Amino acid sequence: MPTSSSVYSAEPMTSPPSVILWSEAGEARSARWRSERDAPPPKRVVLADDTMTADTAYRLACEGTALLWRGDFQNARQLLQALARRLDKPAKAPKNSRKNLAEMATRAPSPAETFHLHRQAQAQRARVLGMVLVPFSADYSIPLRRAPDACQACVEAWGMADDAMGPSVASLRDLLGLISAHEWRKKGVEIAALGAPPHNRIHPHYGVFSPVRGEYVALVATAPLPSGAEPIVAFDIGTGTGVLAAVLARRGIRQVVATDRDPRALACARDNLARLGVSGQAGVSVQVVQADLFPEGRASLIVCNPPWLPARPSSPLEGAVYDEGSRMLLGFLKGLASHLAPGGEGWLILSDFAEHLGLRSRAELLAAIEGAGLKVQGRLDVRPQHPKAADAADLLHAARALEVTSLWRLAVA
């Protein structure tokens, strides 16, 4: 259910940074608290090192006590893996009343119930694993034995180091995410729809969803362009990495305006479009502008790939997957008619995964399209090819096995 959109990510933090407090060597200590999940700083903090057992660490973390690591960095990674193994063990069946047992025997959970239980389990897992903390110096170095040099990864995620901010603390899990994102940014993601190597790679920045689901990109690369409006001006709403804007430019559209409101996404899109050189093509102009959905003016082609699941994000990083109340989807549909040039089309990229989970019905989607004064000109469908679609062990496999990703061609009714 990945999307290229980051439009509804959190706004940059303008309030004073949070502070984490603990006691060490008989003194009160403090540091800036960093959390990509926007989690508050833990209220209970104990020091931990190589002498702490995994069982003790697991008990403390489950109780809500954070472990500020003072030992060997690689041992902290091993401890995190040990906690994950304990969390991933099948839970023992709770003692249920006869009534509950009878209900469980006669009624399987609905897809929506399975989805919400899955998300609750994921949130609990993230909370416990987020209790292993590591310190950072003001320059983003990590004052632990055998710690990696993660300074560049931190700069890419948090901005330039500032001595005035002093030391900070973050979860080890967040740090590993930063390092992984840094490697993806260096390596890039090959996008077949952008042509032959080496000029077909998108480099996702930290906090911007990577276009790993290539089927929706291929739909935008192959759908017939609207013929009733020339020359074609295109808007890419919620551009994220800029991948769809690049595809449109490579298709020969001479003017493309890509929008997003997340500063990370805007920087990422500008970087990728510059790397690909699409604005360097003869007569092609690609602009990246900060906007909540639509830029000013009208376009003959408006593309939007909103988050596919109408559920509340549990962190800013989930804003590219979950769209609470279908806010972005409905905002796009309601504003589309007033931004389309005569004879133009809006392309809505949407998976029906939410329908198979019971989170949104096809009737609700069609009613929203009609209510916005739009009509369906046509639809292109494709089956996803990602590994989870074939993973029978996945809790949501029944819905994933039925999933279809569609490009809805919409016009003013």
Domain boundary assignment for the chain: 34-184, 189-412
CA distances from 283 to 103, 248, 280, 288 (A): 66, 14, 8, 17
pLDDT of the residue at 11: 39
pLDDT above 70 (res 124): yes
Distance from the Cα of residue 80 to its chain's centroid: 23
Position 94 confidence tier, pLDDT thresholds 50, 70, 90: low
- Which of 292, 288, 287 lies closest to 306 in space, CA to CA? 292
Q: Which two tokens stand for residue 266?
A: 């805007």
Give the span between the Cα atoms of 339 and 323, in whole angstroms: 22
- Out of 86-95, 169-178, 197-206, pick the least confident: 86-95
The stretch 284-294 carries a mean pLDDT of 94
Q: Write the pLDDT tens digit of every residue in 49-81.
A: 999 999 999 999 999 999 999 999 999 999 999
Give the DSSP H or E segment for 236. strand 233-237
Q: Write the pLDDT tens digit of every residue in 358-410.
A: 999 999 999 999 999 999 999 999 998 777 777 777 778 888 888 999 999 99
The stretch 324-337 carries a mean pLDDT of 96
**The whole model's pTM is what?**
0.88
249 or 1: which leads in pLDDT: 249
Residues 6+ apart with CB under 8 A from 89: none
Give the span between the Cα atoms of 166 and 138, in whole angstroms: 5
Give the span between the Cα atoms of 369 and 405, in whole angstroms: 17
Centre a 10 Å sphere on the Cβ of residue 400 and count the other Cβ atoms it contains. 21
Position 16 confidence tier, pLDDT thresholds 50, 70, 90: confident
pLDDT of the residue at 27: 95
Q: Which two tokens stand for residue 374?
A: 């739009």
pLDDT of the residue at 392: 78
Q: Which two tokens stand for residue 390?
A: 């074939």
Give the span between the Cα atoms of 263 and 67, in whole angstroms: 32
- DSSP labels, 183-206: HHHHH-EE-GGG-STTS-EE-PPT
Determine contact, residues 222/248, Cβ cutoff 8 Å.
no
Half-sphere exposure of 401 (CA within 13 A, CB side): 10
369 or 2: which leads in pLDDT: 369
Q: Does domain 189-412 have CATH number 3.40.190.10?
A: no
Centre a 10 Å sphere on the Cβ of residue 397 and count the other Cβ atoms it contains. 14
Q: Which two tokens stand for residue 315?
A: 């962190």
pLDDT of the residue at 95: 57
- Out of 39-48, 111-120, 142-151, 288-297, pick the least confident: 111-120
Determine contact, residues 109/399, Cβ cutoff 8 Å.
no
pLDDT of the residue at 399: 87
Determine contact, residues 187/196, Cβ cutoff 8 Å.
no
Residues 6+ apart with CB under 8 A from 409: 223, 345, 346, 347, 376, 377, 378, 379, 380
pLDDT of the residue at 10: 36
Centre a 10 Å sphere on the Cβ of residue 244 and count the other Cβ atoms it contains. 31
The stretch 210-237 carries a mean pLDDT of 88
Centre a 10 Å sphere on the Cβ of residue 40 and count the other Cβ atoms it contains. 10
Determine contact, residues 290/259, Cβ cutoff 8 Å.
yes
pLDDT of the residue at 393: 79
Pairing, β 340-351 against β 405-412: antiparallel
- Which of 254, 360, 250 lies closest to 306 in space, CA to CA? 360
- DSSP labels, 283-344: T-EEEEEE-SS--SS-EEEEEE---SB-S--SSGGGGGTB-GGGHHHHHHHHHHHHHEEEEE
pLDDT of the residue at 3: 40
Q: Which two tokens stand for residue 338?
A: 């007033």
DSSP-assigned letter for residue 139? T
The stretch 234-246 carries a mean pLDDT of 96
pLDDT of the residue at 5: 40
Side chain identity at residue 376, one-letter code: V
